[in-house]
Amino acid sequence: MRAPFGERLTTAVARSGPLCAGIDPHASLLEQWGLPVDASGLERFAMTCAEAFAGEVAVVKPQSAFFEAHGSAGVAVLERLIAAFLDTGTLVLADVKRGDIGSTMAAYAQAYLGEGSPLAADAVTVSPYLGFGSLDPALDLAQRTGRGLFVLALTSNKEGPQVQRARSTEGVSVAQTIVAEAAARNDGARPLGSVGLVVGATVGRTELDLSRLNGPILAPGFGAQGAGVGDLRNVFGDHLRHVLPASSRDILRHGPDVTALRDAALRVRDLVRLPGIQLGW
């Protein structure tokens, strides 16, 4: 039985520093790397990332859509990529953003969190916008298998505020309700709960109260999408503890050379280790 995800994540960040390196094989990146835009190019891209990042960064985040775009051959590459990180100390967060109801959600959970599934990662991203309770099959299976979830709370896309910042008749935002639901699942967990949130590093000042979350916060958008060290301070304020910045293009543009790719990831990681910004892992 593996240790809970929150515990394993804390160990990984303590060892390798607070960084989630995205693995996003856009067609334009494959071309930039001199690779064909097909399953063979996808595999070379993915395995180069595995060679560069395994054992060096705390977390990697493959975006499943870019693998699925190549059909069954692309999904097979994603399976091999996940397997390449086993026992390396680097955790895999599958960016799948699944969210459905009933038996369909249970099937998604089995695919990405179930024992024996070739797509099973250490954690996945999920969408709560069919109601937080719709995530129960994934929450329950993740708890049984020692895996984790990152729940979309406050994202950086321009359409997000229409739903996420909407308020109930009591004046509570939808995003704050999601924070409260996640916090309830993390209550009493040590050293850290396994239900995290996704809060974009570019969303600016928020009114979110994260003090009771007791879980990790994935902060995508660090680097090429515009967020810097100052934005982490601005967005998270007193809640920088347990923030995990995520960066993709700012790192991946340095490929296909393995050493250059690894060095780029470590440079980004070291940015959030500067005095006054060091995160509290």
User: Per residue in 241-252, is it b (16+ CB within 10 Å) or e — as a string?
Assistant: ebbbbbbbebbb
For 121-144, the DSSP string reads -SEEEE--TT-GGGGHHHHHHHHH
The arithmetic mean of pLDDT across residues 193-219, rounded, is 93
- The string of pLDDT tens digits covering residues 108-144 is 999 999 999 999 999 999 999 999 999 999 999 999 9
Q: What is the pLDDT of residues 145-173, one digit of tens each?
A: 999 999 999 998 889 989 988 999 899 99
Pairwise CA distance, residues 21 & 43, whole Å: 17
The reported pLDDT for the residue numbered 161 is 86
Evaluate whether 272 touches 242 at the Cβ level (below 8 Å): no
Residue 261 to residue 215: CA distance in whole angstroms:
29
Amino acid in the structure at residue 89: G
- Give yes or no: 61 in active site: no
Q: Average of pLDDT values for 22-38?
A: 98
**pLDDT tens per residue across span 205-216:** 888 999 999 999
| For residue 280, pLDDT beyond 70 | no
Q: Domains in the chain, ordered, with CATH?
A: 5-271 (3.20.20.70)
What number of CA atoms fall less than 13 Å from residue 195's CA on the CB side?
28
Residue of 26, 80, 97, 165 marked active site: 97
Instruction: Report yes or no: 66 and 37 within 8 Å, Cβ to Cβ.
Output: no
